[in-house]
Chains A and B, each alone.
With several copies, the nearest count.
Chain A
Amino acid sequence: MNPIALTWVLVGKDLKIEYRSRQAYLTTVFFAILILVIFNFAFDPGSPATREAASGILWVALLFPGIIRLNRSFQVEMEEGTLYGLILSPADRGVLFLGKLLANWLFLMVVDLLVFLAFVIVYNFSFSTQLLWIVLLIVLFALGFSAVGTLLGAMVSTIRTREVLLPVLLFPIILPIILPAVSGTQEILLAQEIQSLNRSVELLVAFDLIYLAAGYLLFDYVVAD
């Protein structure tokens, strides 16, 4: 069976499981929105101060679903030892990685975009083509995040303290993608003349590629003890 088809089999499986337990979507979105509400409550949405902090708020809110998702994504595989089922199969490890990665990516994009929508509404930004840039940033970020996250998620899946350990490992690591994402978003929201935005995008793309490569190559070492 060719790798692409196989990858889709894996992705399909994950999405089907996620669909069966919709909780995942709702809870993650819900918490993200809760964060928005809290901040919204902390300072009056109109003020310039808020506008300045907005991008930070958005990205903090986006981290939530991410981490919850990753935790779940391998918890499912541990419940009945299905992770071993995957490892025992002839499927190439790289493909296993891509499968999980894509599933996580798709999931995150859906959730993140919902959160972003909520964000735009709550902080009543006017819908403009500018915002599409942010969507781009989100998509790129979600990719890199899923890449590292899938790798580390598989790694900690056998450790007892994974729920806590994963974010501890993940958050510092993803600095290179979160930094440009935040600064890029800020530029757009403050509607400054877009000067360093391109660099933000470039950085994101670059590190997405790096993380993808790293994950693809290293995944073999982190699955199976």
Chain B
Amino acid sequence: MPEPSVPLLRLSKVTKRFGAIRAVWNVDLEVSPGDSLAIFGPNGAGKTTLLRVIASLTQPTSGEIEFAFKGDNQSRNRVGYVSHLSLLYNELTGFENLLFYARLYGIKEAHDRADEMLAKMGLEGARNQRTGEYSRGMKQRLTLARALLHEPQLLLLDEPYTGLDQHGSRLFTEVLRVLKQEGRTILLVTHNLSEGLELCDRVMIQNRGELVFQGLGEHLDKAGFEELYFQAVEEGGN
């Protein structure tokens, strides 16, 4: 894993409340460039909310978030976000969607880039089909393509494997590997422990908003970690 450097992202005492519910509670977190961090946690633990806060899609109730991107400080075009929503226009075709986002991000040769990403996610076949008519997995593939389109430095992936078939997940795992080698920073939320452990250097467990465990992946074997996970979330999952 990359040598510790100035953190790319720092959260300090971040809290997000919805009325009485503490979706995110007192989260301190440092992510250095090149880190790959797997976030686990039971349903309703606050993982999605945490990512939304980091993506600055919603203001935290309290606490600070700092970015430190090399190059410009314009954080927005450095972040790639995969959410539970597809962020795609149902009325547009797969290609048109990617083309639109490519232009939005000011990518040169937008056409080529769009086609390239379609090929990468194995969607050439559905290039000119309305995304509204896509199957779930096809949509998910396009969602991933959209998020990776502008080669972001920081990837926020919220259950990216949802609905992907065998080919799809292998494909994406490959893509992630490459991105890691390129030294991109990855935050991966998933419910598949082994997957997360395999892909990421660091792991953390969130429960009821709080980070209840942080550690380095390499020290953990699947069985042992599962053990650990259940202990961590023992005191009442959701």
Binding site for B on A (CB under 8 A): 1, 6, 9-10, 13, 16-17, 20-21, 76, 79-82, 84-91, 160, 224-225
Q: Is the CB of A6 within 8 A of B104?
A: yes
Q: Is the CB of B89 within 8 A of A82?
A: yes
Q: Is the CB of B74 within 8 A of A80?
A: no
Q: Is the CB of B92 within 8 A of A13?
A: yes
State the majority secondary structure of interface residues on B.
loop
Query: What chain B residues lie within 8 Å of A16 (beta carbons)?
Result: 91-92, 96
Residue of A nearest to B72 (CB): A90
How far does the alpha carbon of A1 sit from the alpha carbon of B118 in the complex, in Å? 23
B20 to chain A, nearest CB (A): 15
Q: How many A-B residue pairs have CB under 8 A?
A: 73
Q: Is the CB of A81 within 8 A of B87?
A: yes
B57 to chain A, nearest CB (A): 6
Query: What chain B residues lie within 8 Å of A76 (beta carbons)?
Result: 89, 91
Q: Is the CB of A82 within 8 A of B91?
A: no
Apart from A76-B91, A88-B57, 16 more pairs, CB < 8 Å = A1-B103, A1-B106, A6-B103, A13-B92, A17-B89, A17-B92, A20-B130, A80-B85, A81-B86, A84-B87, A85-B87, A85-B146, A86-B104, A88-B81, A224-B56, A225-B59
B234 to chain A, nearest CB (A): 33
How far does the alpha carbon of A1 sit from the alpha carbon of B109 in the complex, in Å? 12
B138 to chain A, nearest CB (A): 14
Query: What chain B residues lie within 8 Å of A87 (beta carbons)?
Result: 57
Query: What chain A residues lie within 8 Å of B87 (beta carbons)?
Result: 80-82, 84-85
Q: Is the CB of A84 within 8 A of B85?
A: yes
1/0 per residue B65-97: CB within 8 Å of A?
A: 000000000101101010101111111100010
Q: Is the CB of B55 within 8 A of A88?
A: yes
How far does the alpha carbon of A80 sit from the alpha carbon of B146 in the complex, in Å? 13
Binding site for A on B (CB under 8 A): 55-59, 74, 76-77, 79, 81, 83, 85-92, 96, 100-101, 103-106, 130, 146
How far does the alpha carbon of A20 sit from the alpha carbon of B105 in the complex, in Å? 24
Query: What chain B residues lie within 8 Å of A6 (beta carbons)?
Result: 103-104, 106
B140 to chain A, nearest CB (A): 12
Known: A88-B76, A90-B105. A13 touches B89 (CB 8 A): yes
Query: What chain B residues lie within 8 Å of A1 (beta carbons)?
Result: 103, 106
How far does the alpha carbon of A9 sit from the alpha carbon of B98 in the complex, in Å? 12
Known: A1-B103, A88-B55, A225-B58. A81 touches B85 (CB 8 A): yes
Query: What chain B residues lie within 8 Å of A84 (beta carbons)?
Result: 57, 81, 83, 85, 87
Query: What chain A residues lie within 8 Å of B104 (beta carbons)?
Result: 6, 9-10, 86, 89-91
A96 to chain B, nearest CB (A): 9
Q: Is the CB of B76 within 8 A of A89?
A: yes
Residue of A nearest to B103 (CB): A9
Interface centre among A21, A79, A80, A87, by most chain B C-beta atoms within 10 angstroms, is: A80
Query: What chain A residues lie within 8 Å of B56 (beta carbons)?
Result: 224
Q: Is the CB of A80 within 8 A of B91?
A: no
How far does the alpha carbon of A80 sit from the alpha carbon of B84 in the complex, in Å? 9
Q: Is the CB of A90 within 8 A of B106?
A: yes
Name the contact of A89 in the complex, choosing from B57, B88, B92, B105 (C-beta under 8 A): B105
How far does the alpha carbon of A89 sit from the alpha carbon of B74 in the complex, in Å? 10
Query: What chain A residues lie within 8 Å of B90 (beta carbons)?
Result: 79-80
A-B contacts, 12 of them at CB < 8 A, read: A6-B106, A9-B103, A9-B104, A16-B91, A17-B92, A80-B86, A80-B88, A82-B88, A88-B76, A89-B77, A89-B101, A90-B106
